[in-house]
């Protein structure tokens, strides 16, 4: 069973540009979440999508956006890039009720996309 797939793995962008990252969840998983990981702030939740709808949103500016397609694949976009956006962006997928005692589901992460803004 394939895991969570993220593309691209590495990319370098210039300040002011925009970037789009892609995530293919595990087959059958309809919940996709995005996280930003930096040495200073650790892992921080960006947003979650379920059935093409944003279900939760973290405390990030509007430059960070995302969407989910009917096949559960998701993309996130960062516009007007800043140096501080340099980070590892992680995608996670799960069945709808991960963490529920009765479902026993869990949340799986991809390998991430390394973004460097110069």
Partner 1 sequence: EDQVTQSPEALRLQEGESSSLNCSYTVSGLRGLFWYRQDPGKGPEFLFTLYSAGEEKEKERLKATLTKKESFLHITAPKPEDSATYLCAVQPSNNAGNMLTFGGGTRLMVKP
Angle CA 117–39–79, to nearest 5: 30
Contact call for residue 11 and partner 1 (CB under 8 A): no
C-alpha of 26 from chain center: 14
- Select from 20-28, 62-70, 74-82, 87-95 the region that touches partner 1 (CB under 8 A): 87-95
Sites for partner 1 among residues 41-70 (CB under 8 A): 42-45, 48, 50, 55-56, 58
Q: Is the peptide bond before 37 cis (omega within 30 degrees of 0)?
A: no
By beta-carbon proximity to partner 1, the closer residue of 44 and 79 is 44
**CA dist., res. 33 & res. 41, Å (int):** 18
The DSSP string of 80-96 is S--GGG-EEEEEEEE-T
Residue from 19, 23, 33, 66 in contact with partner 1 (CB under 8 A): 33
Evaluate whether 25 touches 4 at the Cβ level (below 8 Å).
yes
Contact call for residue 73 and partner 1 (CB under 8 A): no
Q: Where along the sequence are the contacts to partner 1 (CB under 8 A)?
A: 4, 31, 33, 35, 42-45, 48, 50, 55-56, 58, 90, 92, 94, 96, 98-101, 104, 106-112, 114
């Amino acid at each position: 069973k394939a895991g969570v797939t993220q593309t691209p793995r590495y990319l370098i962008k210039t300040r002011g540009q925009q970037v789009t990252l892609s995530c293919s969840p595990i087959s059958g998983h309809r919940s996709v979440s995005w996280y930003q990981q930096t040495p200073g702030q650790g892992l921080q939740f960006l947003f979650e999508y379920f059935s093409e709808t944003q279900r939760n949103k973290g405390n990030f500016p509007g430059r960070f956006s995302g969407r989910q397609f009917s096949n559960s694949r998701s993309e996130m976009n960062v516009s007007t890039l800043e140096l501080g956006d340099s980070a590892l962006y992680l995608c996670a997928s799960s069945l709808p009720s991960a963490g529920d005692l009765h479902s026993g589901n869990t949340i799986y992460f991809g390998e991430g996309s390394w973004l460097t803004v110069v």
